[in-house]
A and B are shown apart, each in its own frame.
Chain A
Amino acid sequence: MEIRPYGDTLHDGAVQMSFTLPVPMSPEAKEAAKQLVHRMGFQSVGVVHMADAGENFSFFVVYAKTDAMVDFSTISVPQVSAVQLSFYGVNDYIRREIGRKVVVLGACTGTDAHTVGLDAIMNMKGYAGEYGLERYPEMVAHNLGSQVPNETLISRAIELGADALLVSQVVTQKDVHIPNLTELVELVEAEGLRDRLVLICGGPRLSHELAIELGYDAGFGSGTLPPHVASFIVQEMVRRGIK
């Protein structure tokens, strides 16, 4: 099934985009925005909004149409395969299948100081109506916070007997997250812990597919809630026989 964006009618290819140009707001800047979008391969380009974005910068919202299509039937994206359990479901599952508390460590590693995502998953008060992992009676959750070096995360994991590591990476400019994430896996392997740990990474620019390529067990992107992560951890532990 071939698809293209939907605007007013099916398959009209209508797209809305926004960007900033490094020139002051002017009729020339508007024309530049129009030509730029045209060069991207779009037709029926219309600049619907232009605004001053500070000193010598201008901001644009543009409508345009594309001819590009994708065959939706050929697309498949690997997804986290765990059964979705609730807060109570996860705790029951741990009592029944694991029989001890599950130790989870979370950290924003490397130079990353953006803890919003990690806090949403870990914090007791929770996020979007779901309790965070710290609230789970059958889990011992440690939030190590931001800018945690990989080595500290691993030494704490050994010390606390962690079952799962949650690594949050928000800053992905120039792909700085990649070497940082692969270093963690390689360190975990070097310490002989890979078979005993569920490795999870998360962040707005991380997908499950990329997590797998990096050698993690799962990746969670934006919109993830604590029970999603908890469900995966406990089921993965049972599947791998981590007891």
Chain B
Amino acid sequence: MRLLDIITQQALRSVAVVGLAKNAGKTVALNSLIRQSAERGLALGLSSVGYDGEKIDLVSRLAKPRIDVEAGTVLATAAATLERATAPLEIIATTNFVTALGEVMLVRAREGGSVEVAGPDSYREMGACIARMQELGCELVLVDGALDRVGGAAPTLTEGAILATGAVAGSSLRRILSRTLHTAHLFSLPEVVCQELRVAATRAIEAGRLLLLTAEGERTLPFRTALGHAAAVVDCLPLVEPCYLIVPGAINESLLSELANRPRLCRNVVLICQDPTHIFSQPEVWHKYTGCGGRVEVLKHIRLLAVTVNPTAPRGRSYPPAEFAREIALSLLPLPVFDLFISDRAVSV
């Protein structure tokens, strides 16, 4: 099975390609999807959170793979990137979304060639660009996540996600595996099932207020965010009763550690947030929190379709490709894992 087959089987119309770090292989995954879409005659749209496709890595100054599009591909990209493309581009529409590289334009490639893509600055604008590309007839829109930003995978934005990981994601195989598994785990956190709870959570998130739900009823906490107030927020929780705490913005390590430090309380609490892109935690703190019995549920999780691996870090360690891919594939079973540097097909374990 190839990467695109997974997307088309589930009839997804928008997919994000996000990475655990720079140089994890997002562009390679993207190019692979573009090629497979062209073979199948699928009308493709493409945009990027931040800026991608530049020849030289802005941080390491090493050459990067270019984004190669086929004739017919639609792009949502800032004006200044148009002249850097080798593919002839035709402007279809403007968007009024201005970035530091000029206004985001909707353009169509008349022939194949390489392009640089710099999409809109905010995820809200990205959502609008995805919708515009779909209106223009794109059967599949791909969103390239910049650097290690995973926000493009938010289910409010895209219907599925591909995660790129690799040797750059950690200093040892153990660390790479732990970070990859952790992200895959966060993406597929359980969704809130109870309808009543969903309604309350949606309301609290829209209002931007922390909401506490216990058997006795609900109570709006005097905080707009849990950031910077972890201890104060935790002080508001009941000592023994089970409760749900709805966090409108981000759930971060301070909140999780604060809860983990009070194990009796931690056991009884379920944190609820919008989706996995609102959770900011490294594996260590997360494990401490869940180890104490703490739980997190989301209104909508991320449909993780596949993981791609890059066994080579541009500077630093490289791993034997076959073993590396197999190791990751084994730990992520049954999720399909691809080493696109070697083959279009999923790694067999």
Contacts and interface: CB of A to CB of B under 8 A. Distances in A.
Interface of A: 76, 78, 80-81, 149, 151-152, 154-156, 158-159, 175, 178-179, 182-183, 185-187, 189-192, 194-195, 207-215, 217-218, 239-240
A133 B124 CA distance: 30
A178 B149 contact: no
B227 A178 contact: no
A215 to B, nearest CB: 5
Q: Which of B21, B80, B100 has the most CB of A within 10 A?
A: B100
Interface residues of B, number: 41
A186 B280 contact: yes
Contact of B98 (A152, A159, A239): A239
Given A178-B59, A213-B146, A214-B147, A191 B227 contact: yes
Given A187-B252, A215-B50, A155 B228 contact: yes
Nearest to A232: B100
B278 A81 contact: no
A90 B99 CA distance: 22
Contacts of A215: 49-50, 121, 146, 149
B167 interface: no
Interface string B97-127: 0111100000000000000001001111000
Main secondary structure of the interface of A (DSSP, over half): helix
A204 B100 CA distance: 20
B51 interface: yes
Interface string B274-299: 10011010000000000000000000
Given A194-B121, A212-B51, A186 B227 contact: no
Contact of A158 (B59, B121, B224): B224
Contacts of A81: 100
A151 B254 contact: yes
B208 interface: yes
B122 A155 contact: no
B316 to A, nearest CB: 10
Given A189-B123, A240-B98, 18 more contacts: A78-B101, A151-B254, A152-B227, A156-B228, A175-B59, A183-B280, A186-B277, A186-B280, A187-B227, A189-B277, A190-B280, A194-B122, A212-B118, A213-B58, A214-B147, A215-B121, A217-B100, A239-B98
B344 interface: no
B163 to A, nearest CB: 15
A151 B147 contact: no
Given A207-B58, A209-B58, A182 B252 contact: no
Nearest to A159: B228
Given A81-B100, A182-B149, A194-B124, A212 B50 contact: yes
Nearest to A81: B100
A80 B151 contact: no
A80 B227 contact: no
Contact of A178 (B22, B118, B248): B22
A217 B121 contact: yes
A185 B50 CA distance: 11
Contacts of B80: 76, 78
A128 B142 CA distance: 47
Contact of B151 (A151, A152, A158, A186): A186
Contacts of A152: 227-228
A191 B277 contact: no
Contacts of B21: 179
6 contacts: A151-B228, A187-B227, A189-B277, A192-B249, A195-B122, A212-B50
Q: Which of A76, A178, A187, A195 has the most CB of B within 10 A?
A: A187
